[in-house]
Amino acid sequence: MNKFVAALAVWIGLLNSTVNLFAQSSASAPSSSQQVVQLSTDCTIKKLPQGFSRIFIAASPKPIASKPTPSKPSANHASAAVDQGGSGTASDPYDGSTAEKFDGILRSRSEANQQNLIVCIGPGTFQTEGTYDFIVNVAHKTARGFTLNKNWKIHGAGIDKTILKLVSFFPNPPGVARNTGAGVVFSTHDDSASGIEISDLSIDDNYPELKATAQQQGIGALNLDAIHLRSDQGGHWIHRINVSHSSGEINETFPVWIFSVTTKSPYLNTGNIIEYVNISGWGGGKCTAIAVAAAIADVRNNAVDGYQIGYGGWSMGKMAFHDNVATNTAYGFNIDSLENDGVQIRNNRIVHPREYGIVVGGGGHYSNFEITGNTIQINMKSVPAVLFQGNVTNARIEGNTFIADPPAGQNLRTIVTKGRGNQGNSDRSNQVVTGYGR
């Protein structure tokens, strides 16, 4: 067996709980069937896709007898050399034990415009500054944080095994009020950074700790997000992710967001998938937890609990939000800006929204929406299940179940229309059930 095959055998051993590359406690290891699902084959296959390279990162350094002398920093401070610990292979992973080391490994590659990179992150909690002060199309001047480049595949060792924890924020970001701070863990390097995949890990935006730090620094409001994938083309895949402790105290924020800022049609940014994402532990403020803007995506099998708005977006074409859950949100869904055509909201479950179940309409146009097969469970008398608030045309509301939990009872408001420009909409085969679905 050659060295490469042997190294992969060690990594695959993580799946079977026989060899633990990163000193994971065997008491906490899930069943082998769960592990097979959790760990991407990108991290175990012998032959990589053509043009791709791969690195492995561990939460703690591998003990070695001696270390080579680090190379001198480059003239460009932002891409200065970082002591990466190991060699980055499965048997000798890079050292990601601090935010400086973890971020530096990724920053040095992204800012060198390395594309087609598979990043395999082992079990453990990894501190990170996320994007920190990086701004797309502005030269990065500091050696802090990191971004994702084109066709990067970021994989953890499992949703309950690999945790990325945001440990700082960028104070007084441009374009917002003073005495504020912002942070996001994953975001793209430029508008050509398409084809990004993120899977099998948890993201802790760390609002409680960062809020305390902000107050000590005179920072009154924080926006903390998990994933912002901005690109002109799509092909992004976000799956099997936990997100917690985000916040939107400065303005409305989007903890998980796929979007474009330069394309004129959402059909230029396609092939996006967001699935099996669980979002909880809202810090406060305004947000849409999972959002799509100027893009087409399949948003499915996700769960949002306690955030302001569960799902939504703007400038969307024919795409679907389906088989998702929103629990204890202010809104389950909200789509109220710009031009949208052919959006499907189907087979979702919205449980006890505080203000609205589904909101469509407002400024802009909203044509050919399909709101079908959803279950909306209301327990407040004043909360509409579905609200059209202007310029909604040719929408179909069909086969939905509206459940009136006490004290809503017979006062349940199922479909409410207000504002101008609502026309050609139809509803049929919807049903109302009272008393906790009984």
| Largest Cα–Cα separation, the chain | 75
Confidence of residue 331 (pLDDT cuts 50, 70, 90): very high
Rounded Cα distance, 293 and 302, in Å: 18
Determine the Cα–Cα distance for residues 296 and 263; give it in Å rounded to an integer.
Answer: 12
Helices (H), 20-163: 32-38, 99-110
Q: Are 399 and 368 in contact (CB under 8 A)?
A: no
Which amino acid is located at 367 in the chain?
S
Tell me which residue of 223, 225, 181 sits closest to 203, measured CA to CA: 225
List phi, psi (to 5°) of 55: -135, 155
- Judge whether residue 10 has pLDDT over 50: no
Predicted confidence (pLDDT) at residue 151 exceeds the cutoff of 50: yes
3-state percent breakdown (helix, strand, coil) of the chain, nearest 5: 15, 40, 50
CB neighbours of residue 272 within 10 Å? 24
Q: How far apart are CA 26 and CA 17, in angstroms?
A: 7
- φ and ψ at 177, to 5 degrees? -65, 155
Nearest-angstrom CA–CA distance, 103 and 132: 10
Residue 357, pLDDT above cutoff 70: yes
With bands split at pLDDT 50, 70 and 90, how would you rate the model's confidence at 85?
confident
Percent of the chain with pLDDT over 70: 85
In this structure, of 75-79, 188-192, 203-207, 393-397, the range with the lowest mean pLDDT score is 75-79
pLDDT tens figures, 180-226: 999 999 999 999 999 999 999 999 999 999 999 999 999 999 999 99
pLDDT (0 to 100) of residue 79: 47
- Confidence tier at 61 by pLDDT (50, 70, 90): confident
pTM (two decimals) = 0.88
CA–CA gap between residue 304 and residue 78 (Å, rounded) = 36
Domain boundaries in the chain?
A: 3-329, 343-438
Q: Which residues contact 264 (CB under 8 A, 6 or more apart)?
A: none
